[in-house]
Amino acid sequence: MGALVTIDCEYVMPQLAASYLREEGGEVAFIEANTTHALPRLLAALERQGLAAEAVKYVIVTHVHLDHAGGASALMRACPNATLLAHPRAARHLIDPTRLVASARHVYGEEAFERLYGTIEAIDAARVRALEDGERVTLGGAPLHFLHTRGHANHHFVVHDEAKQVVYTGDAFGLVYPALQRGQRFAYPSTSPTDFDGAAAIASVKRVVELKPRAVALTHFGMFEDVQPIADQLIRWLELSTRMAEQGAKSGDDVGTLEQRFKWQLDQEFELAASRSGLKLNEADRQLIRFDSELNGQGLAAAAVKQRG
């Protein structure tokens, strides 16, 4: 059976964002492209396997958030025979990234955007294939099964690698940072803007579990075999997040007030969850968690305002 390699893209810091190299029968797929800056790491991993860029058949992105798909155009340029596989709602933003880039530049500012993401270019539509829910492709004879998984983003899918019994989960199966795994398992979801849907997110977690994979391969970060314990934690978090968004919708508070309230609430919940997991948080841990509590708070605030109609 072919190779499966976890690549640390060193996005912002080590072990924060991964890409996966999957080889079967001399054909290669990259699952997640990270950012333009990760390209040398992806190509170096390919070289270590004794493979050329011409062997890459697929570049797969679970969704178009830039820590997953920002490097897709650079990777496609480097891999002349590759086809880019994406969710139908994501494909158009890869073919024409104008709106995606403009939005990110507005949020991050020019300097931070360049530092984080580099150059993002259009990809020839003839090299992009949109995959519907349930579609399959083959890699060197091995089937890859694509399942749409809403909740984190409306344009998200996961990839079931049936031969390896692994599901590449993008952000649909949460965040399990290695730096925080010093006690029992410590997992939590990403509810970042702007598409958080609690019920859909819970359904997506359950859909991954129903595949009965040997392991899940998370973009953030790494492969884990204790699938059910991770799912149980995620569902508890998602139920809490759903209640928070519903309460925020009823409050009538503006989005800025909700963001601050939710961030504070999430910080408290992280402390409690860490304690239950036997994890004694240090300042580096809190800094890592703070990044996600800010994003998750923003996502819940956006969801609360959206519920008001």
* Residue found under tokens 């259009």: 122
Q: How far is CA 292 from the centre of its chain?
A: 13
Long-range CB contacts (within 8 A, 24+) of 251-255: 251/304, 255/301, 255/302, 255/304, 255/305
* Domain residue ranges in the chain: 4-164, 237-307
Which token pair is 19? Answer: 């890409």
Residue-wise pLDDT for 175-224, tens only, equals 999 999 998 999 999 999 889 999 999 999 999 999 999 999 999 999 99
pLDDT greater than 90 at residue 47: yes
Residue-wise pLDDT for 105-153, tens only, equals 877 888 888 888 988 999 999 999 999 999 999 999 999 999 999 999 9
Residue-wise pLDDT for 138-147, tens only, equals 999 999 999 9
What is the Cα–Cα distance from 93 to 77, expressed in whole angstroms?
Answer: 17
pLDDT of residue 282: 94
Output b/e per residue, 95-122; b: 16+ Cβ within 10 A.
bebeebbeebeeeeeeeebeebbbebee
Residue-wise pLDDT for 8-26, tens only, equals 999 989 999 999 999 999 9
pLDDT of residue 106: 79
| Residue 145, SS3 per DSSP | strand
* Residue found under tokens 């890859």: 144
- Sign of the dihedral defined by the CA atoms of residues 48, 160, 154, 134, in that order: positive
Which CATH fold topology does 4-164 show? Metallo-beta-lactamase; Chain A (3.60.15)
Residue-wise pLDDT for 243-267, tens only, equals 999 999 999 899 999 999 999 999 9
Contacts of 150 (CB under 8 A, 6+ apart): 156, 195, 197, 200, 201, 203, 204
pLDDT greater than 80 at residue 1: no
H or E element in which residue 259 lies: helix 255-276
